[in-house]
Amino acid sequence: MAMPMLIPENLMKKEGELINGFAPEVAWVTMGGNKQLEERMCVRPTSETLFSDYYSGVVKSYRDLPLKYNQWCSVMRWEKETRPFLRSREFWWQEGHTVHATAAEAEKETRDMLGVYEKFFREYLAIPAITGRKTEKEKFAGAEYTLTIEALMYNGVSLQSGTSHYFGQKFSKAYDIKFLNKDNDWEYAYQTSWGVSSRMIGALIMVHSDDDGLVLPPNIAPLQVRIIPIGDDEKIAKLAENYEKTLQKAGISAEIDTTDRSPGFKFAEAEVLGVPARIEIGMRDLEQGKITIARRDTKQKILVDANCDIEKEVRALLATIQNDMLARATARRDQMTYVAKTLAEFEKIMNTQPGFVHADWCGDPECETRIKEIRGTKSRCIDENAPLVCGKCVVCGRPAKHHVIWGIQY
């Protein structure tokens, strides 16, 4: 689906919470050509209003439902402070929008998409995200509730990495999205939306990469193997071509570096680019019947028989790298995951080595605000599946309602 980039102010205003949430951070178009516009328009910060306006025209009967759309686009939020890849005024994302005939179906969609994101992070990006529900303060403006996946960066800072919103009938009432249900009664429809963004690139950098450049998990690396022949020897060139052909045929993304730069330069460039595996073919190794495969993630160099089954060898190595990257990221996250029962414990953790802090909360927004005084710590999510830590709010000591995971955020 392709929806317009500009949203007229009156359309944006129909759902009150949404405009209140976004008004301080949208860019306004006020002039077209040399003329002042009669009504200013904002560059979309998100597209619920546009989809809702569209649904109101096409949804008539339960037979029309569900409708599920996805849009790839960039959106704009006029952030005061920006950080490359993590928080930029313009960012690229996919935004999914769905409308359903029942609350149960819409809620299932909301949870299913959170699962898709969590799985994608784990299996492709090798990032172990935690999942849960946002507090009222942190949820999306206009949502009944927001589910979130949260990742932990190498330095213990949290990153909201993907969200899935259940809107119930909030938008359908504001935009008049009604349908005839199976009982032939008019009913307001149930909506969801969900998205992940180019912020994922920031997460990849801040979870896996090092001072020598990117470290990309094999499952999403655009180039998985770079083959570097050392010297001009014809035997070496032929072997490189054989490897390239064999690997490409097997569906592995592999490429010979044919430029005329030095081997050292080529090694360094492959490292900067985060290519997971590098095959180095040099005469000294080859005289022993060997080649070298270098791992980007651990920098380990492995001597392998030159006439090995290169497809099998590389495929196994890429799988190992993928698994190891997830395991290391998980171990680091776990090492930086804490439990706090008192505010003193909480403060000590965040002032030493921050990370995810599990702590109970009474549900009072004032206690949430109090925690923000600790280096800006916010609730990441309510862990709905976990029992309470100790039963007492970490701030006020009153009986706790929620097991919350907290963190300093980007």
Query: 1, 5, 116, 308: which one contacts a second copy (CB under 8 A)?
Result: 5
Tokens of 318: 């890429």
Q: Which of 28, 124, 188, 267 binds a second copy (CB under 8 A)?
A: 28
Position 27 contacts a second copy (CB under 8 A): yes
- Considering only 21-29, 50-58, 126-134, 202-210, which stretch makes contact with a second copy by CB under 8 A? 21-29
Q: Tokens at residue 46, please?
A: 């998100």
Site stretch for a second copy (CB under 8 A), options 29-37, 144-152, 302-310, 326-334: 29-37
Among 23, 116, 220, 223, binds a second copy (CB under 8 A): 23
226 within 8 A of 253, measured Cβ to Cβ: no
> Quick check: 29 binds a second copy (CB under 8 A)?
yes
d(CA 106, CA 108): 5
3-state secondary structure 225-280: EEEEECCCCHHHHHHHHHHHHHHHHCCCCEEECCCCCCHHHHHHHHHHHCCCEEEE
- Region binding a second copy by CB under 8 A among candidate stretches 30-38, 224-232, 300-308, 316-324: 30-38
Q: Say which residue the tokens 């998990």 belong to.
A: 217
**34 scored as a contact of a second copy (CB under 8 A):** yes
Question: Which residue spans within 44-105 are E strands per DSSP?
Answer: 67-76, 90-100
Q: Looking at beta carbons only, is 23 or 220 nearer to a second copy?
A: 23
6 binds a second copy (CB under 8 A): yes
In single-letter form, the type of residue at position 387 comes to P
User: What are the structure tokens assigned to 173, written together?
Assistant: 């009432």
| Element containing residue 349 per DSSP (H, E) | helix 343-352
State which of positions 329-368 bind a second copy (CB under 8 A): none
In angstroms, give the least distance from the CB of 250 to a second copy.
23
Residues numbered 49-78 forming contacts with a second copy, rule: CB under 8 A: 73-74, 76, 78
Q: Per rule CB under 8 A, is residue 4 in the interface with a second copy?
A: yes
β-partners of residue 358 are 339, 405
**How far, rounded to the nearest angstrom, does the alpha carbon of residue 387 sit from its chain's CA centroid?**
27
Closest distance between a second copy and the C-beta of residue 4, in Å?
A: 6
β-strands 254-256, 225-229: how paired? Answer: parallel
Instruction: End-to-end CA distance of the chain: give it in Å, rounded.
Output: 30
How far, in Å, CA of 337 to CA of 211, rounded?
24
| C-beta separation of 228 from 257 below 8 A | yes
Angle between helix axes 310-335 and 234-249 (nearest 10 degrees) is 70
Contact range with a second copy by CB under 8 A, out of 25-33, 112-120, 138-146, 384-392:
25-33
Two tokens at 76?
Answer: 């704009």
Minimum CB separation of residue 283 from a second copy in Å reads 27
Pick out residues in 74-103 that bind a second copy (CB under 8 A).
74, 76, 78, 89-90, 92
Examine residue 66 and say whether the peptide bond preceding it is cis (omega within 30 degrees of 0).
Answer: yes
Which is nearer to a second copy, 97 or 358 (by Cβ)? 97
Residue range at the interface with a second copy (CB under 8 A); choices 27-35, 282-290, 321-329, 361-369: 27-35
| Chosen residue from 30, 248, 258, 262 binding a second copy by CB under 8 A | 30
Q: Interacting stretch for a second copy, rule CB under 8 A, among 19-27, 105-113, 285-293, 365-373? A: 19-27
| Coil/strand/helix, residue 358 | strand
| Number of amino acids touching a second copy (CB under 8 A) | 25
- Inter-residue contact 89 to 82 (CB < 8 Å): yes
List b or e across 314-330, with b for residues whose CB sees 16 or more CB atoms inside 10 angstroms.
bbebbeebbeebbeebe
Closest CB to a second copy among residues 32, 391: 32
Minimum CB distance to a second copy, residue 6 (Å): 7
43 sits near a second copy (criterion: CB under 8 A): yes
Q: What are the residues binding a second copy (CB under 8 A)?
A: 2, 4-6, 23-34, 40, 43, 73-74, 76, 78, 89-90, 92
